[in-house]
Each structure stands twice: as C-alpha cells, then as structure tokens.
Amino acid sequence: MDIQSDSELAVVIVNHDFGSKVLKIAKQNRIAGGTVFYGVGTLKNRVLQFLGLADSRKEIVIMAADSSVLANAIEQIDRVFEFKKPKHGIAFTMPLALWMGTGNSEYVCKKYGGEAMYKSIIVIVSRGSAEIVMEAATEAGARGGTVIKARGAGDLEAGKLFKMDIEPEKEIVLILAESAHTESIVSAIGARLEIAKPDSGVIFCLDVSKVYGVT
C-alpha cells in the first residue's frame, strides 16, 4: 500500500488493559485498526521501588491514517483518557515519511521541515540491555521510557515494529524527549552501548508532530 505524504503514525501509551479501549475509540473515529504491544514503564519513584512496584505494565498502541483523521481520533482519545493528568498515559504522532532504520553500528537523527519540539528515540538491543539504555538516557536528561519485550515466534504482530523484524531475544526502548536534549541522550546511550561495535544495538529517532500528556 502506498503511504501518502500527509499520513502520520500515532503512538499511544496507556496502562495495562486499556489498549483495546484506545482501539475502540479510534475505530469510532475512522481509524481502520492498529497494533497493541506490551511494555514496561521505567519512570522511577523511591517509594514504589521500596515496595517493589516501580515497573508498571503498559500497552503501546500503534496506528496510522491520514493526518486529519488521525488528529481527530487522538483528540477524542485524549478527551476520554485525559492525558494531561499524571499517569493517565501519553500520545504522540509522527510523519510516516520519516520511518527509517539504521545499520548495527550507527544512529541517525533526521529533521522533518522545521525543528520539532519533541523527538522519539527508539533503541533496539539484546534482551537484558534495556536497563543499561535507560540508565544512560536518564543520566543525560530523559524523564523515562517504555520497554517493549519481543514475544517470540507465533506472535506475528508483536514480532515487527516499523517494518523491522524483531528477534525474540531483543528489547525495544521507546523514549520521548525534548529536541534540545535528544542529541545528548542519544550520544550517552551510544557510548554506553559501545554502538560502534557490531551487534551492539540500533538507535534511531524521529520527529514528533504533536504530543499529548507531556508537561
């Protein structure tokens, strides 16, 4: 299917068991469908860590449509979930024309027109390395992130992200950051992973068109 230049991708991150509700609202607003991934939030809190509850289960909903249709659907989802309230989730959109991947030993940050206020940083690493990624990212100014764990063979939808095959032993870290901090965050992650070495991971970032739930 040809992707039109005015099409966009939406990423909605909500608490566990709410992904289907997001898709239902989206369908009511002319979005044909989407994919739900399961992840773990990484926002740290000392009290939650003490209680052993620091990691919260998340569902990541990914869907694409014409920009105007998608914008309306996300606004309706925002009205229901009230993303402006703490821990209600976040949502953001990106131009589909900027989907990209990189080789194993480099990262790419590409601009879309003028400078965007936010960028999404996507890191694909071997299972067990997501914590290293988040440590480097938070030290460089990231507020938090979401870790998506691949489910393995038999789960075809969860085995692909951005048209990239994800092997069962991989983890995907999704970080939303202000553009001014993106370069330092990506550089810190790259240095910690020793990204120049073969098979150490993949990092790439995309401009974000609009953000809900981030203050």
Q: Decide if 192 is inside a domain.
A: yes
Alpha helix ranges (H) inside 143-209: 179-193
Non-local CB neighbours of 64 within 8 Å, separated by 6+ positions: 3, 7, 8, 9, 10, 34, 70, 96
Looking at the chain, how many residues does it have? Answer: 215
Domains contained in the chain, number = 1
Could you tell me if 196 and 87 are in contact, meaning their C-beta atoms sit under 8 angstroms apart? no
The yes-or-no verdict on residue 103 having pLDDT over 50 is no
Lowest average pLDDT, out of 34-48, 96-110, 132-146, 182-196, goes to 96-110
The yes-or-no verdict on residue 154 having pLDDT over 50 is no
pTM: 0.62
Query: CA-CA distance, 119 to 109, in Å (whole number)?
Result: 9
Q: Find the CATH number of the domain harbouring 138.
A: 3.30.70.120
Q: Decide if 2 is inside a domain.
A: no
Q: Decide if 86 is inside a domain.
A: yes
The yes-or-no verdict on residue 165 having pLDDT over 70 is no
Residue 14 domain boundaries: 7-212
Q: Cα dist. 110→61, 81, 113, 125, 160 in Å?
A: 24, 31, 10, 21, 22
Q: Decide if 75 is inside a domain.
A: yes
Q: Three-state DSSP class for 91?
A: strand
Band of residue 149 on the pLDDT scale cut at 50, 70, 90: confident
Q: Decide if 111 is inside a domain.
A: yes
Q: Decide if 90 is inside a domain.
A: yes
Q: Decide if 165 is inside a domain.
A: yes
The yes-or-no verdict on residue 194 having pLDDT over 50 is yes
The yes-or-no verdict on residue 161 having pLDDT over 70 is no
Res 126: pLDDT = 84
Res 117: pLDDT = 84
Q: Decide if 51 is inside a domain.
A: yes
Kindly report, residue by residue over 13-62, the tens digit of the pLDDT.
Answer: 898 889 999 999 999 999 987 878 787 776 555 444 443 444 578 888 88
